[in-house]
Amino acid sequence: MDIETENVINLVFPNGIPESWKENPNFYQYLSKVGGYDVDQLNKEPDHLNDEKTSVLQTTQELVFANYKTFVQTAESSREIFKQFNETENRLDGLVQKIPKFVEKCQSFCDTSKDINTYRRINSLTLTRNAELLEVLEMPQLMESCLRSSQYNEALELSQYARQLGTKHGDIPIISAIVAEIESSWSGMVGQVVGSLRGDLPLARCLQLVGLLRSMDAFTEPELRIKFLQARDSWLQSLLNAIPKEDSNLHITKTIELSRIHLFNIITQYRAMFNDDELITSGRDLTISQFLITLEQDLPGVTSIDSILGQCTYFGLSFGRVGADFTGRMSDIFVRVIGEKFESSVRKTTKKFEKDMESFTLINKIQKTNIKMPTTVKSENPPEQLVEFYPLAEYCNGLISAFNEIRLCPPVALSVFCTKILQESLHNVAKSILLFYKQEQQAFTASERENMLKFIENLSEQLIPYVQYCIHVIFPPNQSAIHLGVSENLLQEQGITYLNRDIILEPLTPLLPISKNLSVSNVQSLFLQRTSEISSSSDTADIDTSASQLEKLKISESHLLVEQKTVSANSQEKKALLTEDSKILANNSTSNNENQNR
């Protein structure tokens, strides 16, 4: 392509020309032809090209319409030829793939034809030695007969002969098969003898089976010990796994019984047959560990822990005769489970009390001011005064149920833990009462305030001493002191099995009853001090509570006057003074209310 042609192409086709045009000589010929045209011819060239295109298209269509059958037949013939060519190609590929196999089969046929003469000669020799071969072939059946008839000595001799025969003629397949069958029967007998150990066997039968295994020389001495322990342990585990697990009491009771009887027998049998104690010690410790795991799993669901404790103690002490006393390992499990059950019962009772306080009311409570409330509890019966306030009564019943659960087998090690749990529970009870007071104090009437004081007094003077008494009934201080090697006074000083009343009632300190020996002026100042403490801790501190405080002071003073009337001789004078003070405080309360309304 010369430079002028290239320039013309770039001028006519600024975006370039297709690659196919560059290789087409007709393109350059036409380009040269067009280059010789004048302006008129160039203007007419597009019309000329369109006419030529139309003429060619019309000619092509006429040709197609005139010879359409030929075109259709040509297309069908081409498709059929293509299809047949594909089938031919596929069959040729299959033929090529099968040619190696065909060659291999031909070679195999040639080899087989060569071996026919060899087999014929061998069959002739076999026919002449038929009697001797029949004896050898019947050796496996003879071995089975000896095993079924328990003729173990003859079976041992037959096995030894088969092994010698296999050593000499092991390259002969039939001999190898016979030897393998005899060894299989022999292995089956070994497995049968070992399987016989998985049963409730007396010592004499165990000695017989172990002696048989030794004479068979199936295991070395360490292997024989391991097999014996595995078989006996497998049988024991099958007994334990067969115990129903739905009832925890039945499962743990049967587990203790079967483990105690059979594990002791296994240890005795092992020591009678073997001199090594190291292996049986390891197996014994493993079985005891498995028992302790089962005990730990079943004990939370047991209803009578004291009965299970007695059985486990006898189980552990009985194994002291074989140097495996594990009562110390069991005690930790019992202490933990008993403590968890007691803690769960107490916490459930505490939550029940908190829920009861949500629906509790002091309305329509009957006042029984003539009943003297003893502060020293010397009876296992709960105080009758708690019946007036059902949350305290139900809470006391819940604690009694928890005490009854732990009463039959109270571990001394849990004395401090149980005391701590009870103290925390009583402290939460006091906090719940304080929360109830904060929520309801604004709407208290005079009688409700009296009932509230009585409620708190029942907690501090009746329930707490009764719980303390129950703790000392279950964990007597003298036994705890002997166990710890200290005096009872030191127990009380350190707070061991003793509730700390101040910590329990610390949330209710501003609401506790006032001592009857205080003077009237001291009573008034103490009332004002406690009122300010309650107001500072109230959740509604942003509201002016002066009116409610004064009303509370009035009611508390009148309550105090009623109590002092039966104590001092000059109660009439104090009553008059306090009544006058109450009127003044009431008037102040009314004026404060009016100011608030304004």
The 3-class SS string of 348-373 reads: HHHHHHHHHHHHCCCCCCCCCCCCCC
Average pLDDT over residues 189-217: 83
Q: Is the per-residue pLDDT at 561 higher than 80?
A: no
Q: How many residues does the chain have?
A: 598
Query: Sign of dihedral through CA atoms 585, 587, 589, 591?
Result: negative
Q: Are 596 and 544 in contact (CB under 8 A)?
A: yes
420 Cβ neighbours under 8 A, 6+ residues apart: none
User: How crowded is the C-beta side of 564, counted as CA atoms within 13 Å?
Assistant: 25
Decide which of 597 and 36 is more confident. Answer: 36
The residue type of 533 is E
Whole-angstrom Cα Rg for the chain: 54
Residue 567 confidence (pLDDT):
30
495 torsion bin: left (phi>0), alpha (psi -120 to 50), beta (else): left
Q: Is the per-residue pLDDT at 527 higher than 60?
A: no
- 471/498 Cα distance (integer angstroms): 8
CB atoms within 10 A of CB 450: 20
- 552/534 Cα distance (integer angstroms): 11
Which of 63-72, 260-269, 485-494, 543-552 is predicted with the least confidence, judged by mean pLDDT? 543-552
Decide which of 381 and 423 is more confident. Answer: 423
205, exposed or middle or buried, with CB in 10 Å at 0-12, 13-18, 19+? middle
Decide which of 151 and 587 is more confident. Answer: 151
**Residue 145: which pLDDT band, with cuts at 50, 70 and 90?**
confident
Q: Are 454 and 367 in contact (CB under 8 A)?
A: yes
**Residue 343: which pLDDT band, with cuts at 50, 70 and 90?**
very high
Percentage of the chain with pLDDT > 70? 82
Q: Is the per-residue pLDDT at 425 higher than 90?
A: yes
CB atoms within 10 A of CB 401: 13
pTM beyond 0.75, yes or no:
no
The token pair at 333 is 């499990």
Q: Is the per-residue pLDDT at 559 higher than 50?
A: no
Q: Are 395 and 353 in contact (CB under 8 A)?
A: yes
Residue 376 confidence (pLDDT):
54
Max Cα distance, the chain (Å)? 153
- 234/223 Cα distance (integer angstroms): 16
Q: Are 464 and 504 in contact (CB under 8 A)?
A: yes
- 121/188 Cα distance (integer angstroms): 38
Residue 569 confidence (pLDDT):
33
Residue 215 confidence (pLDDT):
78
CA dist list (Å): 80 to 73, 87, 482: 10, 11, 113
Strands (E), 99-151: none
247 torsion bin: left (phi>0), alpha (psi -120 to 50), beta (else): beta
Q: Taking Cα atoms as reference points, which of 336, 350, 347 lies closest to residue 394?
A: 350
Q: Taking Cα atoms as reference points, which of 214, 303, 308, 218 lies closest to residue 260?
A: 308
- 41/6 Cα distance (integer angstroms): 22
- 133/340 Cα distance (integer angstroms): 77
Average pLDDT over residues 243-258: 88
Average pLDDT over residues 413-435: 91
CA dist list (Å): 500 to 326, 363, 383, 433, 492: 37, 32, 20, 18, 10
Q: Are 324 and 288 in contact (CB under 8 A)?
A: yes
Decide which of 557 and 331 is more confident. Answer: 331
Which of 171-180, 196-205, 234-243, 515-524 is predicted with the least confidence, judged by mean pLDDT? 515-524
Q: Is the per-residue pLDDT at 354 higher than 80?
A: yes
Decide which of 30 and 496 is more confident. Answer: 496
DSSP for 456-503 reads: HHHIIIIIHHHHHHHHHHHS-HHHHHHHHTS-HHHHHHHTTT---HHH
CA dihedral of 100, 105, 107, 112, whole degrees rounded to 10: 160
Q: Are 531 and 549 in contact (CB under 8 A)?
A: yes
480 Cβ neighbours under 8 A, 6+ residues apart: 412, 415, 491, 496, 497
Decide which of 590 and 89 is more confident. Answer: 89
Q: In the chain, what are the domain boundaries?
A: 3-65, 67-128, 134-196, 203-325, 340-513, 515-598
Q: Taking Cα atoms as reference points, which of 563, 559, 583 lies closest to residue 451?
A: 559
- 102/110 Cα distance (integer angstroms): 12
Contacts 24+ apart (CB under 8 A), 185-191: 185/140, 185/143, 185/144, 185/147, 186/143, 186/155, 186/159, 186/216, 188/147, 189/147, 189/152, 189/155, 189/216, 190/216, 190/218
Q: Is the per-residue pLDDT at 544 higher than 70?
A: no
Q: Is the per-residue pLDDT at 326 higher than 80?
A: yes
- 274/228 Cα distance (integer angstroms): 10
User: How crowded is the C-beta side of 580, counted as CA atoms within 13 Å?
Assistant: 6
- 274/226 Cα distance (integer angstroms): 11
**Residue 598: which pLDDT band, with cuts at 50, 70 and 90?**
very low
Average pLDDT over residues 67-85: 88
Q: Which of 2-16, 158-172, 355-369 has the highest mean pLDDT?
A: 158-172
The residue type of 126 is T
Which secondary structure element, helix H or strand E, spans residue 591, and what is its range? helix 571-597
